[in-house]
Structure 1
Amino acid sequence: MPPVPPHHETVPAAWTDYNGHMNVAYYVLAFDHATDAFLDAAGLDAAWRAREGRSVFVVEAHVTYDQEVLEGAPLRIQPRALAVGNKSLRLFHTMHHAGEGYLAATNEVMLLQVDMASRRTIPWDEATRARLQALVEADGSPWPEQVGRAIGRR
């Protein structure tokens, strides 16, 4: 069992395009919803943001589109913490069709912790970094092949 539960979502009609499948922009939105669910589960929720005056900003993202999903498709997005740095958190998400089980897409994101007053990056406090590191270590499996990919010819 992964340390953070999967996020579930269903593809609404408004998310589909002229090809009849989910538009690329909405994959990113669904992954962003899963990131928010991960952050809530990791204790980096609205209460933490208000109490600490901190937040996280996504500074880089990469999506692979592996198989299309259509209107009404049930999605299961599993977040995974890959690495935590001094100020950073690297997440990876897999999106599966929850009914048929196939891999639909992946998403890798790099987040930085930001002090909301100065809007500058700041290091994690010791307790938060330890909590995030525990989530990284909870999944001992190798990193997925999509991690670190870049656009290019094969």
Structure 2
Amino acid sequence: MVLYQNQLTILPEWIDYNGHMNVAYYVLAFDNATDAVYEKWGLGGQYIQQTGCSVFTVGMDVDYLSEVFEGDKVTITTQLLNWDYKRVHYYHRMINTATGVLAAVNECLAMNIHLAKRRSTPFPDVVQAELAQVMVRHKTLERPDKAMQRLGIKSNRSGVP
């Protein structure tokens, strides 16, 4: 499969007084998927140690579409929508693994930040090469319906409209 996938089980402490997963834990689950995909893209923990840079989320949208409950297993897929020399724009889908129902979606825009300067900075060439390869695979995928309505990269080098 072309999309990145992460699986998890909904924990008891993630359940609120309504008996379903609290909104904060949807964001936590999506953030865990982000950490996993950043590792694959060369932007994880070692990236920080090697470059003194990290990737900060600058915008995020979450849509809650279907309830999930304690013990449910979910699969989170990640699709790279766009990137440029210092930003990445990606989209997560949370799917109930047992039912196939789309539970939530999360769209994120993030920027590479030099930690000592606290300013944006270009990704190293090796990261740009990885993102370019991912984009080649992901631009053949269908763009999510609601994606890129509020978040996006207006000018870029990736050639994605």
Give the structure-2-normalised TM-score.
0.88
Amino acid across the alignment from 2:53: R
* Structure 2 stretches lacking a partner, 5+ long: 151-161
Check if 1:145 corresponds to 2:145. Answer: yes
Partner SS state of residue 64, structure 1? strand
1:91 Cα offset (Å): 0.9
* Structure 1 stretches lacking a partner, 5+ long: none
1:37 Cα offset (Å): 0.3
Amino acid across the alignment from 1:128: V
1:126 Cα offset (Å): 2.4
Q: For each residue in 1:50-101, what CA deviation from the matched residue of structure 2 results, as whole angstroms up to 9, or x when unmatched? A: 0111110001000011111011110100011110012100010000001111
CA contact (8 A) 2:78 2:93 kept: yes
Amino acid across the alignment from 2:141: S
What percentage of residue pairs aligned between the two structures are identical? 36
CA separation in 2, counterparts of 1:149 and 1:30?
Answer: 23
CA contact (8 A) 1:76 1:96 kept: yes
CA separation in 1, counterparts of 2:59 and 2:38?
Answer: 17
CA separation in 2, counterparts of 1:132 and 1:33?
Answer: 19
- Counting matched residue pairs gives 149
CA contact (8 A) 1:83 1:133 kept: no
Amino acid across the alignment from 1:50: Q
Q: For each residue in 1:1-55, what CA deviation from the matched residue of structure 2 results, as whole angstroms up to 9, or x when unmatched? A: 1253x11111111111111000111100000000000001111121121011111
Partner SS state of residue 131, structure 1? helix
RMSD, matched Cα:
1.2
CA separation in 1, counterparts of 2:129 and 2:73?
Answer: 34
Partner of 1:71: 70
1:148 Cα offset (Å): 2.7
